[in-house]
């Protein structure tokens, strides 16, 4: 029993240390890696996000067992802390060198993550870009865009969720090094990021589904994506009914 108590104490200290180190990583990464700049869009306002948790109440194995695609969401809003955790799971920085939660060919990070918020506490409705290096949101389009997004995707379920995580690709970042194979690597990375969101949502007792059927150009117009950015996956997320 005494040995077990010591082990639990050591694990708790490690988790607390990891939480402190995460903040240092985010600052270091923002200085160490700024990306290629391809496909970036200017923004005028930033919103810091709550620090992500690095120790949850559900194991990876349990999340794998419980993970399901769900298109039925409850009416409750999500918290900014939950939104922060989901974004970090998709593309959060986990190393001072700028490495992230999802593997990336050549560490070129061709993905951009957008948050389309409708019912998120402490966050006005609108479209935000996730700045992974600084773990913050950069404001873009204002106002509720979920109805317009549902129209573009012909997916009514998008209107029901409090938020939608959109995975967008800037293929040119990878093509500069990998040429024609960039499309394959970007698709692989998108799958990694989407599965991270699935598992994180499951661990938070939330529901989600990956939507891939939509009009690319229309979704791009709704989100006001800059040239060179292509939406690949829409993931509405909300409470389970």
Instruction: Using the structure block, give the residue that is written with the tokens 């593309």.
Output: 91
Contact between 80 and 49 (Cβ < 8 Å): yes
pLDDT at 30: 41
pLDDT at 23: 46
pLDDT at 129: 98
Helices 146-153 + 216-223 axis angle, to 10: 170
Q: Which fold has domain 2-239?
A: NADH Oxidase (3.40.109)
Q: What are the pLDDT digits (tens) for 65-89?
A: 999 999 999 999 999 999 999 999 9
Which helix (H) or strand (E) segment is 238 a member of?
Answer: strand 230-239
pLDDT at 27: 41
Which residues does the chain have with pLDDT short of 50? 2-3, 5-7, 10, 16-39, 43
Q: What are the pLDDT digits (tens) for 115-148?
A: 999 999 999 999 999 999 999 999 989 999 999 9
Contact between 239 and 207 (Cβ < 8 Å): yes
pTM tops 0.85: no
3-state secondary structure of 128: strand
């Amino acid at each position: 029993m005494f040995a077990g108590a010591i082990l639990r104490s050591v694990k708790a200290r490690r988790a607390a240390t990891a939480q402190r180190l995460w903040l240092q990583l985010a600052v270091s990464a923002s200085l160490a890696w700024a990306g290629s700049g391809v496909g970036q869009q200017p923004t005028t306002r930033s919103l810091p996000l709550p620090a992500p948790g690095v120790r949850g109440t559900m194991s990876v194995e349990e999340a794998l067992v419980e993970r399901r695609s769900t298109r039925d969401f409850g009416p409750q809003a999500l918290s900014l802390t939950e939104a922060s955790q989901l974004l970090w799971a998709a593309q959060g920085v986990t190393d001072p060198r700028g490495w992230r939660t999802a593997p990336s060919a050549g560490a070129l990070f061709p993905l951009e993550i957008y948050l389309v918020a409708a019912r998120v506490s402490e966050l006005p409705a609108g479209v935000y870009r996730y700045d992974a290096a600084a773990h913050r949101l950069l404001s873009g389009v204002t106002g509720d865009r979920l109805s317009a997004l549902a129209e573009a995707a012909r997916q009514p379920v998008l209107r029901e969720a409090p938020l939608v995580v959109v995975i967008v690709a800037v293929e040119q970042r990878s093509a500069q090094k990998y040429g024609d194979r960039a499309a394959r690597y970007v698709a692989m990375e998108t799958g990694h990021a989407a599965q991270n969101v699935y598992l994180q949502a499951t661990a938070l007792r939330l529901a989600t589904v990956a939507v891939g059927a939509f009009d690319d150009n229309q979704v791009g117009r709704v989100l006001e994506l800059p040239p060179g950015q292509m939406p690949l996956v829409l993931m509405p997320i909300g409470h389970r009914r």
